[in-house]
Structures are given as C-alpha cells and as structure tokens.
Amino acid sequence: MAAPLTTYTCALTDEQAAALERALRSGGFEFFEAPHTRLAARKNRLTVALYRSGKLVVQGRDTREFVEFVLEPLVLKEARLGYEAVHDPGHRDPRIGVDESGKGDFFGPLCIAGVYVNDHVLEAFEEAGIRDSKRISSDRRVAELARLIRRTPGCLHTVVAIGNPAYNRLYAEMGSVNRILAWGHARVIENLLKQRARMQPPPVRVISDQFAANKATVASALMRLGRQIELVQRHKAEADPAVAAASILARDEFVRRLATLGKQFGLELPKGASARVDAVAREFVQRHGPDALEQVAKLHFRTAARAKGEPEPPRVPWRKRPAPPVE
C-alpha cells in the first residue's frame, strides 16, 4: 500500500508551467492570489502553488493522485514519484558538481565552477528551483540564484576563471579546447577537495558533463586529490542539482567578467558567436587594433580572422571517433 503523501515539490520549466495552468483550468481548479506565486489554485483537498522561482508545491490529501494522474502525464511527461531510488540511487549522496561557461562565446573568459552539496543543501536547491543555467534566459535571474547558492549553509563552491590572455596562451600550447576544459575541471576539483574537512559529510563522487569523446581526457588531468575520488562523466549532467548549481555560478562569473571587459574597452561585447558578434569584433579591431583582440576574445575562433581581415583557416572536417571496443 502506497504511503500517504501530502506534499510534493519539483521545479518546472516555463513550458511545463503553461501545461500545468492548462491542466488546472480544465480540471476545474479555483485560482486565487498568493504571495510570490505565478499561479495558485485549489480543489477539494488539494492546493497547487507555482512560485516565480519555478518551484511547484502540491499540498493536501489528494497529492499522490494529482501527481500520478495529472502532473506526471500532462506536465512532467515522465514518472518520477517513488522512482528516485530506482533511477538514481545516489540522488541524496554528498557530492561535487562541476560545469563551465564561455566555451562557445567568442568574447569573454572560460569559467569553470564546482559546488559541493549534501542532503540539506539539496533540499534548499530544490526549494529554490535550481536548474541548468542554459535553461535560464535572464542574466538577472542567474545572478539571483548564484547569490542564493553562495549563501546556502553547508554549500562549498569555487570558480576558476581563465581570462582571455591566459586562455589564448593555453590554446597555443595545448591546441585543444577540451584539454583546457580538462585542466580547468581538474583544478576546480582539486581546489574544492582541499576544503574536504569542511564538507559534512565528505563527498563520495564528482559529477561533470562529458564534453570529450574520451573520458580519459579529464581523468588523466586530475591532480593528487582528484585521483582519490570517483569521477562520473555523463551527457546532460546538468540534470544533477550539484552540476546545475555549478553551471549557474560559472555563467554568473562569465557574465560579470564579460561586462567588465566591455566597460574597460568602451564597447558592449555580446555573448555567443553570431553575425552581431562578427560586427562587434570588427568594430573592436577598428577602435583598438588587432593586437588588443587577444585581451577580450578567444583567438582560435574564425571570427578573429574575419575581424582582422586575415584569411580564415581551412575547415577541418568533423569525423566521429569510433566507439571503443567492448571488453
């Protein structure tokens, strides 16, 4: 017999929030005003509140029925209730999440962040609706969540920011973005593990996105302390709250440093790589000269050659590496 469930919380995307509202209206819920909510509704013995942070709270004696027959099939599009221990038996384990920001941006640094979480920190993140920074369109919201993460009791964090001059030197020496990322991830892990005595309880693993085809790229870059803990690399690792929090801290650091560079050189530097970025890069070279570009941009991008009026390097055709043999 299923245990009584009177409260359920999760985080919703904007698309899921719209689906929730449709489900509530078609289900005969009565809407009402509540502080800090995007919507609030009640029906019989059930109250549903979606907060501006994206956190959804379902309360009442009919919670289980609502989650199983409305929320999961119509909004979440997946079965979650009661499956956490099956699909992710370590979902409450103390751990470190690592993620980066700025890799695909021509202007600005490369920032890698790490976040330690335990059970209490995970509860706080869940209530705040912490999610991957790429799913948050507002820099202001990223900054708000970054402040919340940094202030959460028991949460330890660190950020390694590789400024453009250093990034360009590393690329000239390593010849690969993935090698730079591997070094940055290893440095962040080492910096956090030096604070292991403050982690209660100590982390059992480190989780990061698998950005390289070969997992050994990061594993071989690990330093002394990093080699003493399990490293889990997987695609879409941002689904893990620790990695999502790291992505927010990394993005916040990137955005702030990009803005500082723009003020220093008197030009708003856009994110990403686009036609607008190309135009601003040309304007930057016209104002400050081609040599100054290394102070604000990643020179291996083809955008740099176009901005300087130089021939673009030949494109190297991408080839998928063969999968390693199964032992």
Q: Does 217 or 189 have the greater pLDDT score? A: 189
Backbone angles phi, psi at 59, to 5 degrees: -135, 145
Closest to 11 (Cα-Cα) out of 124, 149, 150, 91 = 124
Is the confidence at residue 87, as pLDDT, over 80? no
Summarize the confidence of residues 264-292 as an average pLDDT.
Answer: 96
Over residues 155-189, the pLDDT tens digits come to 999 999 999 999 999 999 999 999 999 999 999 99
Here the tokens at position 37 are: 């909510």
The C-alpha atoms of residue 246 and residue 239 are separated, in whole angstroms, by: 11
Summarize the confidence of residues 29-53 as an average pLDDT.
Answer: 94
Closest to 97 (Cα-Cα) out of 197, 265, 223, 231 = 231
What are 112's strand-pairing partners?
100, 160
Here the tokens at position 43 are: 């029906």
What ranges do the domains of the chain cover?
7-87, 95-257, 266-308
Pick the CATH number of 7-87 from 3.40.50.720, 3.40.640.10, 3.90.1110.10, 3.30.310.10: 3.30.310.10
Here the tokens at position 208 are: 């990061």
Summarize the confidence of residues 308-312 as an average pLDDT.
Answer: 88
pLDDT bracket for residue 324 (50, 70, 90): very low
CATH homologous superfamily of domain 95-257?
Ribonuclease H-like superfamily/Ribonuclease H (3.30.420.10)
Type of residue numbered 170: L
pLDDT of residue 85: 45
Over residues 1-20, the pLDDT tens digits come to 344 678 888 889 999 999 99
Average pLDDT of the chain? 89
